[in-house]
Chain A
Amino acid sequence: MRLIPTAAIAASLFLFSAAAAETPSRPAGPITSLDFAMPEWKRPLPISLDEARLVGEAVSREFPLFITTAEATRPAMLRLAYLNAISVMPETFKLTVRVNDVVVGDTVVQNASEPETLSLAIPPGLLEPGFNAVRVSVRQTHRVDCSVESTYELWTRVLTEQSDLVFTGARGEIRQLRDLPAVKPDRNGLTPIRIRIPGGLESASIERASRAAQAVVLLGRYSNPVVEIDPDQAMDAGLDVVIGTLPVVERALGIRIPGSGPQSILIHDQQSGRVTLVVTGATETEIDAALEALTREASGAALHGSAAGLRALKNVNGRLFGGGETVNLAELGLESEPFRGRLYRQTFRLQLPSDLLVADYDRLTLAIDAAYASALSPESKMVVRVNGAPIADIAMANPAGDVLSRRMLYLPVRAFKPGLNTVDIEAETRTQVDETCEIASLADQRERYLLLGTSEITVPALARIGTLPNISSIVPGGLTHLSASKELHVFVPKARREAIAASLTMLAKIASVSRIPTKAKFTFDRMPEGADHVLAFGAYDDMPEATVRAAGLDPAKLGKIGPRLSPDAPRIGVVAKPIQVAFIGDEIHLSPSDAEPKDVQRSLPSSSLIQLAEAAREGSGLLGAVKSVDGSDLMGHARSAVDWIRNATAGSLHRAGILGSQTTKGIDVTEDVALVVAQGARTKELEAGLMARLLPSVETTTVILAPTADRLKSSLSDILASSHWQQFVGQAAVYKSQDAAVETQVSERILLVPTAPLDIQNVRLIIAGWLSRNSAVHITGLLGILLVLTFALHRVLRLSGVRE
C-alpha cells in the first residue's frame, strides 16, 4: 500500500467529521486549516465519454451538477471546449448552453480542426445550492449531404478534459457528507472511489469496503462510480475511502484523527484537491457501527437544488417507474425546440423495476403532442422505438403539415425489460428538395418538426415478480431484491484485487441505480454453500468449473477450462414449470409477420445509429403498410391488412406453441470476447405447502468473467459507465470490445420468485402475463371450462322454467 504523503495532508486539511455513532450530520469544526486563497476553483462537468459525443442534427444532453452552498454565492463561469465533425456545415451550426433551463450562452462557431472553447459567465443567482441542471444542445446539419444516413456523420464532441465550471474566489470546500456530490469526476465522467484497506484483503474488510463504497455512491449520487482498491496512482478526481481502526488509519494517513468512537470523517486537501473519507472506530465493531451510521445517513439523505437540477438528477440513470405513473416528456428531459433537420431523434431513459414481469398484459401509452411542417416527403413518419426496436409509428405525410394533438401510441410491456430501457422518438422530416440536395436545400433552415414537452408517457400497473435467469435485473438490484435474506453472496475466486474491484464497482453501480445498498457477503476460496444468489467475478482460469456450469455456461466454451468438477457443484433441484418471457433478446416485432424465432440476436451498439436506421428501413408488416399508403393506394392497405391478419394468425399460433417451438442456442465465447455474463437458476428442493410448491425457492449463480482479472475490471467499468449494460439481457451475454457488440442468449426456462406483495392486482397481472406467454394453456383451459360450463348450463336450462 502506498501512503499519501503525510506532509501534504498535514499542510492543508479541512476536516469534517460526521461522528457516526452520535448525530451523523452534525458538522465538526476544522481541526487544522492552512487556508490558501484560491483564485479559481474548477469543477469538471460530470459528463461521460459516451455522452460527450453529440451525434445527429439536434442533440441535447442534460446532466445534474452539484453546487455547494459556498460555490453558489460566487461568480461562476462555464468553460466548454468542443470539436466538430468535418461534415458539420459551419453556417447552420449552433451550440446552446442552458443552466437550470436558462440560456447562458450560445455559439455558432464550428471548428473541426482544433478545440473551440466557449466561456460563458453564469448570471449571479442562477446557480442554487444543491443540484443544478446544465444542458448542452447542438443543432448541426451536413454540409454536402441531405440523406438521413448522413445525419449520423454529424457530431460535436464536448472535450471533457477542457470543460469545467470555474468559480472565482471560491474554495471548493467539501466539508460535510451532504457535499459529497461535489466530488470531482474524472475526465471521463466517472467518479473513482479508491478504497484503502490498511488491514489487507480479508473478506470482512472487503465487505466493509463494499458498504462504504455503496454509502458514498448514495450520498454523492454518483451515476458512474468506479471502485479501485489500493490504487497506485494519486488523482484529484474522485474520493479516497479509508477504513480501519483508529490507530491503523492514523498510521496510514499520517495524521491524528480527533475524537473517538465510531465515526466517518471527511478530509479535503485543498492543495491536491483530494477528498478522503475516513471510516473508523476503536475496534472492528465500532467500524461496523460507523458504517452502519454512514449507510443510514446515505439512505435518508435529502435532496436539494433547483427544479431543473432535481429533474436532471432523476433522469440521469433513467427515470424510475414502479408502475401507475404518468410523466410528461419535459419532465423526462425533452428540450422542446423546433427542429430544422432531416432526422429528429430524442431518447428517453426509463428505469423499470428489477422484478418486472415482461409479458403482454398491458401497454405503456405515449400521448404525443407534436406538429410537422408542410411539404415533407410523403413517406415521412414518426417512429417510436423501445430498446432499439420499432414499436409504433405515425405517418407525417399531410402535404399541408399537421398538428398532432394527444396522438396515442401504445408500447406493449413485452417490449420492455427490467432495469434501464430506452424509448426513442424519431421523426424523418425530409422534403422533396432534399432529394436533389442542392445548396439551397442544404441551407434550408425551415422549421420542420416540433415535439412538445406536454407529450406524456403513462406506465400502467406492472406485474411484479422476479424472473430468473435474467441478467438485465442485476444492475437494478434484482438479485438482492429476490433474495429472502436480502443478502447477495459475492464469490471472487483467488481474491484477485482487480476482480474484487470489479465486484465493488458492480455493487456501487447497483446502489447508484437502485438507490438501495446491497448487503454483500464475500467469499474467496470456494463457492458459498446454501446461498440464494451468488454473483461470481473472475478470470476464466480462476473460476471453478462447477460455478461456470451452475451459471448455465458450458465450461468447454471458455476454452482453457478443463472438464474437472469442483466439489462445490450446486445441486440441481426440481425445475418449475417454465414461462416464456420476452426480454430484449427475444425479438420485438411491430408486426408478428416476421416472428421467426431467432435465438441469438446481435444487439446493436448504441453508437451505431446508422444500423438502427437500417433496421428501421427494413420495416415490418405495419410499417410497410403505412409506408405504402398514400391515400389513393387503398388496395395496398387492404392487401397489407390481409397479410397482417394472416401473419398475426401464424404468429399467434407460434407464440401459443401450437406451431413448432422455439429452441435456443448457447452463446459463443470467442477470443475477441472481453466479458461474459451468465446466470443459471434452479429451484431448491420442494418444500411443503401449496405456495412453496407453486413458487418454489430459487437459487441462482451469476458469473461475470473475462479472460483476465485486469480486463474484467476495465471491461466492466467501461460497460457500466456506458449504455452497453442495457443490452445485457436474457440468461447470458458476451461483450466484444473490438466492435463494441453484445450478443445475448434468450432465457429458456424462467423461474418465478415472488418479490412484491402478492395482492390481487399483482397476482392478476402475473397470471395474465403468464397466460399471455402460454396462450395454448389459456385457450385450452378456457375452452375446457366452457365445455363444462355449457354442460351445466344445458342441464340447468332443462330443469328450470317451464318443463317440457
Chain B
Amino acid sequence: MLQALSLGFLVMATCSALFLVLQPVGMEAQWVLAQACLLAMLAIKLLGLRGYWRHLFYALGALLVLRYLYWRTTATLPSVSDLQDFVPGLIVYTAEVFCIVMLGLSLFVIARPINRSRAPAVSPAEAPTVDVFVPSYNEDAGLLAITLSAAKAMDYPRDKLTIYLLDDGGTDGKVESHNPAISQAALRRREELQRLCHDLGVRYLTRERNVHAKAGNLSNGLLYSQGELVVVFDADHAPEKGFLRETVGFFQEDPKLFLVQTPHFFINPDPIEKNLSTFERMPSENEMFYHMIQKGLDKWNAAFFCGSAAVLRRMALEQAGGFAGTSITEDCETALELHARGWRSLYVDKPLIAGLQPETFSSFIGQRTRWCTGMLQILLMKNPAFKRGLSVAQRICYISTCMFWLFPIPRMVFIFAPLLYIFLDLKIYNATVEEFGAYTLTYLFAALLLQSYSYNRFRWPWVSEIYEYVQSVYLLPAIMGVIKNPRRPTFNVTAKGGATDEDHLSGLAWPYFLIFAILFAGAVIVIYRLQYEPHAVGLLVIVGLWNLLNLIMAGLALGAVSERRERRKAHRVPIGGSGILQVQDTVFPVRLADISQSGLLVQAHGPGTIRPQAAATLTITAIGQRKDCISLPVVVANLRPEGENRLVGLGFARLSAVEYGAVAELMYGDLSALLRGRQARQRGKSLILGTAQVLMWGLRQTLRGIYFGLFRRGQTLRPSAATS
C-alpha cells in the first residue's frame, strides 16, 4: 500500500516535472536552468553528499539530459528535404539517443546498489555438499595445479567438498582425432592431467566430444557429480581459502537462491593498462562492473553469473537443463534462464579469487569479441524484453547489460561524425553557437558529472571512452556479423599469456593508425578552414574541438596497441613472511618478497656464496598464521645485491602435489595484502585532473605509438615462453 502510494506520488511528480522540462522556454531560460542544475550537482558532488542527495543529483542530471534531448529532437535535425544532410544527421541523432537511453538504463541499474551483509555461518553438519568445477581447454598443468590446489585448500568440511577438473582438451574426440598431432597432444594432456588430479586428490572428468564449448563441459560435469551446490572456477582463477565460507551460507538462508557471484580479481594488468602504464595508479576497467554495476543489479535481483568465481544451486541448474549454450556467453544466459524461472541471485562484493587477464592486445580483443557477440546473441535470440517470467526491473537490467555491447556503433559514429562537416561540409546538426553552449555543452557537462559522481572511485574521467574506442574498432565488424547471423559466433577460449619479452606493435594495430591519420587530416583541414572560412569560425571551432578530442583518443589508442615487453614469465603476488634458504651446505635467513606460479623472490641476509643455477631448498617458517613449515625445492635463477643483502630469484623445481598446495596457499591463501594495494588505487580523480591526465597521456602515447609504428613494426607477435 505504502509502495503503491509512493509510486503514485512519484508518477505525479514525474509528470509535472516532465511537463515543465518539455516546455520550449528559450535559450535564456535554458541558461539559467542549466546553471542552477549544474551548480547544485557540483555542490552535491564536492560535498560528497549521498542518500537523498544522490538521487537529487541524478534527478538534476536527468533534467538537463531531457532538456537537451527535447531541444535536439525539435530544433536541430536537418530538413528531410536535404537528404544528404538528413540521413547522416539522423544517424548521429540516433547514436546520441542510444547513449541517452543507455544512460537512463544505467542510472536505473545503479539507483541503489546493495551492500550485502556477510554470509551466515554454516555448521559442518549442515553444510551442503559442494562440487567445484574447474573447466579447462588448453591451460598447462602448472597453472591447473595451482588452481586445483587452491580449490582443494578452501575451508570446508573435507567430506562435503569434491573438486573436478573438467578437461575439454583431452576429450575422446580429440584423442581419437585423425590428425596425429592433435591426437597425441590430447592424449599426452589427458594422461598428464589425470596424473596431476590423482596426486592432488581431484577428480578428472572429460567427455566424448567438444560440444557447446564451456557450457557443454560444465553441463557434463553436472551429469557426473552430485553436490547440492556447484562452484565454477576458471582454470586461472584460484580461490581464497575463505571462498565457501563467504558464499555458501546464503543458500541455507534462501531456498530460491540459485547464484552467489563474487568479483573477478586479477593479479595482472590488462594489455591496455599495461601498455598505458596505468595499472599501479588507476582502478582497473573491470572494477566499475564488479564494485558498482553488479551491486546495482543485485538490488533488482538481476546480478548475473560471470562464468567463474560463483556458487550455483544444482537443483536450479538441472531445472533449466544445465548450463545454457545457445549463446557463447553461457554464464549470463544461464542466469537469465534461471531468473526467468523465478530463482534469485545474490552478489558478494568481496574479491575471493585471483585470476589472470589476457596479456596481449589481440587476446584482449578476442575476449571482448566473445562477450560482445554473446550478449548480442542473447539480445537477438532470447530478448530479455520479451522473456517470460522476468520482472520489469530484471528486463531493464538485462536489456541494459546486453545493449551496452552496442556501444561500438555510437562510438564510431561520434568518431567520424565531425569529419562529415570538416571534409564534406554537411550540416547535420542545426544550431547556433549560443544554443550549442546552452544545451549541448551543459548536457555534456551534466553527463560527465553524472559519470564522475557515480563511478569516480572505479572509473576515472574519459577512461570509458578510451576503452570503448579501442574495442569498437574490432567489435563493430563483429556486431555486424552477429546481426547478420546470430548463430554464427563460436566460443573462443581467451588466451592467457602470450606476452613477449620485447616491445612490439600489436598485429591488430593498423586500423588504429589509419583512423588516427584520418582524424589528423581532419584536424589539419580544420586549421586550414579556420583561416579561410571566417564565417564558420564558431562552428568550426566546435567541430574542431570535437575532432581533437577524438584525435586524442585515437592517439591514446596508438599507445594501447603498442605492446610493452613482459620480462616476467609469471605474474607475481607480493607476500610477507620469512624462511631459510639452504644452498648446498650454507643456510641463509630470508624474507619473502613475492611469489608466482614459477618461483619466488627472496631477500637473503648474511655472507656466503650463492651461485646461479644452484639447486637449493627453501623452508618457509613463518607466513601469516601458518604454524607448520613448508620446504620447497628451488633453483637459484638470478641474483642482485640490495644494500648489504641480496635479492635472490628462485625458480621452483618440479613440485609434488603437496608442494603445489603450499605454493597455492602462499599465493592465494590470503588475498588481503593484494586487495589493500588495489583499494589504494580506488581513489576518485576530479574532472579537471582526470581530463588533464588524459591529455597528457594522449600526447605521450601518440608519440610512443608513432615510435612503435616506425621502429617496432617488425617484431609483432613473437610469443615468449611465458604462460600464465
For the complex, give the distance between the alpha carbons of A790 and B41 in Å: 14
Determine how close the nearest CB of chain A comes to the CB of B444; give it in whole angstroms.
15
Known: A778-B20, A796-B10. A629 touches B33 (CB 8 A): no
Binds B, one of A199-207, A642-650, A695-703: A642-650
| Option from A408, A651, A791, A796 in Cβ contact (under 8 Å) with B52 | A791
Q: Is the Cβ of B35 less than 8 Å from the Cβ of A652?
A: yes
Q: Is the Cβ of A648 less than 8 Å from the Cβ of B28?
A: yes
Task: Give a binary string over A763-784; 1 marks a CB under 8 Å from any B CB, 0 the rest.
Answer: 0110110011001001101110
Q: Is the Cβ of A634 less than 8 Å from the Cβ of B20?
A: no
Which of A359, A644, A765, A782: most chain B Cβ within 10 A? A782
Known: A592-B28, A652-B35. A787 touches B299 (CB 8 A): no
For the complex, give the distance between the alpha carbons of A795 and B437 in Å: 35
Residues 590 to 629 of chain A near chain B (Cβ within 8 Å): 591-592, 622, 626, 629
Known: A360-B26, A652-B31. A796 touches B300 (CB 8 A): no
Residues 1 to 58 of chain B near chain A (Cβ within 8 Å): 2-3, 6-7, 9-10, 13-14, 16-17, 20-21, 23-29, 31-33, 35-36, 40, 51-52, 55-56
> Which residues of A sit under 8 angstroms from B300, Cβ to Cβ?
801-802
Known: A785-B16, A804-B114. A790 touches B59 (CB 8 A): yes
Determine how close the nearest CB of chain B comes to the CB of A425; give it in whole angstroms.
15
Q: Does B531 contact A (CB under 8 A)?
A: yes
Q: Does B100 contact A (CB under 8 A)?
A: no
Q: Is the Cβ of A795 less than 8 Å from the Cβ of B533?
A: no
Q: Is the Cβ of B533 less than 8 Å from the Cβ of A402?
A: yes
Q: Does B363 contact A (CB under 8 A)?
A: no
> Which residues of B sit under 8 angstroms from A798, Cβ to Cβ?
112
Q: Does B97 contact A (CB under 8 A)?
A: no
Binds A, one of B132-140, B204-212, B239-247, B427-435: B427-435
Q: Is the Cβ of B23 less than 8 Å from the Cβ of A764?
A: yes
Q: Is the Cβ of B29 less than 8 Å from the Cβ of A797?
A: no
Task: Give a binary string over A357-372; 1 marks a CB under 8 Å from any B CB, 0 the rest.
Answer: 0011111000100000
Task: Give a binary string over A492-507; 1 marks a CB under 8 Å from any B CB, 0 the rest.
Answer: 0000000000000000
> Which residues of B sit under 8 angstroms from A795, Cβ to Cβ?
6, 9-10
> Which residues of B sit under 8 angstroms from A649, Cβ to Cβ?
31, 35
- Give the contact-size bracket for chain B: 35 or more
Binds A, one of B167-175, B534-542, B714-722: B534-542
Q: Is the Cβ of A629 less than 8 Å from the Cβ of B55?
A: no
Q: Is the Cβ of B28 less than 8 Å from the Cβ of A360?
A: yes
Known: A395-B534, A634-B530. A414 touches B26 (CB 8 A): yes
Q: Does B111 contact A (CB under 8 A)?
A: yes
| Option from A632, A786, A792, A804 in Cβ contact (under 8 Å) with B9 | A792
Determine how close the nearest CB of chain B comes to the CB of A615; give it in whole angstroms.
20
> Which residues of A sit under 8 angstroms from B40, Cβ to Cβ?
783
Q: Is the Cβ of A802 less than 8 Å from the Cβ of B114?
A: yes
B10 to chain A: closest residue by CB: A792
Residues 645 to 686 of chain A near chain B (Cβ within 8 Å): 645, 648-649, 651-653, 655-656, 658
B532 to chain A: closest residue by CB: A398
Q: Is the Cβ of A359 less than 8 Å from the Cβ of B26?
A: yes
Q: Does A123 contact B (CB under 8 A)?
A: no
Determine how close the nearest CB of chain A comes to the CB of B673; give it in whole angstroms.
30
Determine how close the nearest CB of chain A comes to the CB of B391; give it in whole angstroms.
9
| Option from A392, A400, A799 in Cβ contact (under 8 Å) with B6 | A799
| Option from B28, B393, B536 in Cβ contact (under 8 Å) with A775 | B28
For the complex, give the distance between the alpha carbons of A790 and B37 in Å: 14
Q: Does A631 contact B (CB under 8 A)?
A: yes
Determine how close the nearest CB of chain B comes to the CB of A233; give it in whole angstroms.
54
Q: Does B301 contact A (CB under 8 A)?
A: yes
Which of B17, B29, B111: most chain A Cβ within 10 A? B29
Q: Is the Cβ of B29 less than 8 Å from the Cβ of A792?
A: no
Known: A767-B23, A779-B36, A789-B14. A772 touches B29 (CB 8 A): yes
Q: Does A412 contact B (CB under 8 A)?
A: yes
A362 to chain B: closest residue by CB: B24
B432 to chain A: closest residue by CB: A410
Q: Does A89 contact B (CB under 8 A)?
A: no
Q: Is the Cβ of A789 less than 8 Å from the Cβ of B17?
A: yes
For the complex, give the distance between the alpha carbons of A367 and B13 in Å: 40
Q: Is the Cβ of B14 less than 8 Å from the Cβ of A361?
A: no
Residues 111 to 131 of chain B near chain A (Cβ within 8 Å): 111-112, 114-115
Which of B17, B23, B40, B534: most chain A Cβ within 10 A? B534
Q: Does A800 contact B (CB under 8 A)?
A: yes
For the complex, give the distance between the alpha carbons of A396 and B535 in Å: 6
| Option from A630, A778, A797 in Cβ contact (under 8 Å) with B33 | A778
Please give the number of chain A residues whose Cβ is less than 8 angstroms from any Cβ of chain B in the complex: 75
Q: Is the Cβ of B537 less than 8 Å from the Cβ of A802?
A: no
> Which residues of B sit under 8 angstroms from A395, Cβ to Cβ?
534-537
| Option from A771, A788, A800 in Cβ contact (under 8 Å) with B13 | A788
Task: Give a binary string over B425-458; 1 marks a CB under 8 Å from any A CB, 0 the rest.
Answer: 0010010111101100000000000000000000
Q: Is the Cβ of A789 less than 8 Å from the Cβ of B59?
A: yes
Q: Does A793 contact B (CB under 8 A)?
A: yes
Residues 541 to 560 of chain A near chain B (Cβ within 8 Å): none
For the complex, give the distance between the alpha carbons of A419 and B35 in Å: 35
Q: Does B298 contact A (CB under 8 A)?
A: yes
Q: Is the Cβ of A651 less than 8 Å from the Cβ of B24?
A: no
Q: Is the Cβ of A782 less than 8 Å from the Cβ of B21?
A: yes
Q: Does A268 contact B (CB under 8 A)?
A: no
Q: Is the Cβ of A644 less than 8 Å from the Cβ of B434?
A: yes
Q: Does B105 contact A (CB under 8 A)?
A: no
> Which residues of A sit under 8 angstroms from B56, Cβ to Cβ?
786-787, 790
Q: Does A570 contact B (CB under 8 A)?
A: no
Determine how close the nearest CB of chain A comes to the CB of B24; give it in whole angstroms.
5
Q: Is the Cβ of B7 less than 8 Å from the Cβ of A796?
A: yes
For the complex, give the distance between the alpha carbons of A645 and B27 in Å: 12
Q: Is the Cβ of B52 less than 8 Å from the Cβ of A800?
A: no
Determine how close the nearest CB of chain A comes to the CB of B82; give it in whole angstroms.
7
> Which residues of A sit under 8 angstroms from B17, Cβ to Cβ?
782, 785-786, 789
Q: Is the Cβ of A793 less than 8 Å from the Cβ of B59?
A: yes
| Option from B14, B28, B433 in Cβ contact (under 8 Å) with A652 | B28
A764 to chain B: closest residue by CB: B23
> Which residues of B sit under 8 angstroms from A350, Cβ to Cβ?
none
Q: Does A79 contact B (CB under 8 A)?
A: no
Q: Does B348 contact A (CB under 8 A)?
A: no
Q: Does A381 contact B (CB under 8 A)?
A: yes
Known: A408-B430, A779-B33, A785-B20. A797 touches B112 (CB 8 A): yes
Q: Is the Cβ of A360 less than 8 Å from the Cβ of B532?
A: no
Q: Is the Cβ of B32 less than 8 Å from the Cβ of A653?
A: yes
Residues 432 to 487 of chain A near chain B (Cβ within 8 Å): none
For the complex, give the distance between the alpha carbons of A652 and B537 in Å: 25
Q: Does A397 contact B (CB under 8 A)?
A: yes
For the complex, give the distance between the alpha carbons of A764 and B13 in Å: 19
Q: Is the Cβ of B35 less than 8 Å from the Cβ of A796?
A: no
Q: Does A406 contact B (CB under 8 A)?
A: yes
Extra A-B contacts (5), CB below 8 Å, given A656-B28, A796-B6: A361-B25, A648-B437, A764-B23, A772-B26, A799-B6
Nearest 10 A-B pairs (CB), nearest first?
A360-B26, A395-B535, A789-B13, A397-B534, A792-B10, A772-B25, A772-B26, A631-B531, A768-B23, A652-B32
Q: Can you report 21 residue pairs joining A to B where beta carbons are below 8 Å apart? A: A360-B26, A397-B535, A398-B533, A399-B532, A406-B82, A414-B26, A592-B28, A631-B532, A648-B28, A652-B32, A658-B32, A765-B24, A768-B24, A779-B29, A782-B63, A785-B17, A788-B13, A790-B55, A794-B52, A795-B6, A802-B114
Interface residues of A, Cβ cutoff 8 Å to B: 359-363, 367, 378, 381, 392, 394-400, 402, 404, 406, 408, 410, 412, 414, 591-592, 622, 626, 629-632, 634, 637, 641, 644-645, 648-649, 651-653, 655-656, 658, 764-765, 767-768, 771-772, 775, 778-779, 781-783, 785-802, 804
Interface residues of B, Cβ cutoff 8 Å to A: 2-3, 6-7, 9-10, 13-14, 16-17, 20-21, 23-29, 31-33, 35-36, 40, 51-52, 55-56, 59-60, 63, 75, 79, 82, 111-112, 114-115, 298-301, 393, 427, 430, 432-435, 437-438, 530-538, 541
